[in-house]
Amino acid sequence: MGVYWPLAGEPDLRAAYAELHQAGVRLALPVVMERDAPLTFTEWTPGEPMLPDEAGVQVPAQLRFIERPPALLIPCLGFNAEGYRLGYGGGYYDRTLEQPPRPHTLGIAYSNQEAQFSHAPHDVPLDVIVTERTHVT
């Protein structure tokens, strides 16, 4: 499962990641290898040594690249009722989701981040967005 390292304003799920890992789920973090390109993914184990990349995002000190996971947790700084998200503006997740086969996506947001905004033609909606007020069964 693809997870994310939280940046400012994004929900921090690292405790849940540790539980998933203990349950045997293989985790992967996104890595930006080049500007204006899809994300690459590296295997990750909670607690392993991390280093900041060029943008200051924590990545494993030892990168172990893997295929894109079939399911991704994706952070949202904002979202709308149509399933589109706002992030930090790099477009990395949109470029990643454009590549077939499209992974299942679960956006993670705070409920107060829902907003009305229009999306650009290159934006890709998420399958589901959950917040602290959402109950998914």
Give me the sign of the Cα torsion angle 122, 86, 130, 81.
negative
* Residue 34 contacts residue 27 (beta carbons within 8 Å): no
14-130: what fold?
Rossmann fold (3.40.50)
pLDDT digits 0-9 by tens, 47-73? 999 999 988 899 999 999 999 999 999
At 7-62, the pLDDT tens digits run 998 999 999 999 999 999 999 999 999 989 999 999 999 999 999 998 889 999 99
- Global pTM reads 0.93
Please answer whether residues 103 and 72 qualify as being in contact, where contact means their C-beta atoms are separated by less than 8 angstroms: yes
Q: How is the chain split into domains, by residue range?
A: 14-130
Rounded-to-integer distance, Cα 102 and Cα 84, Å: 15
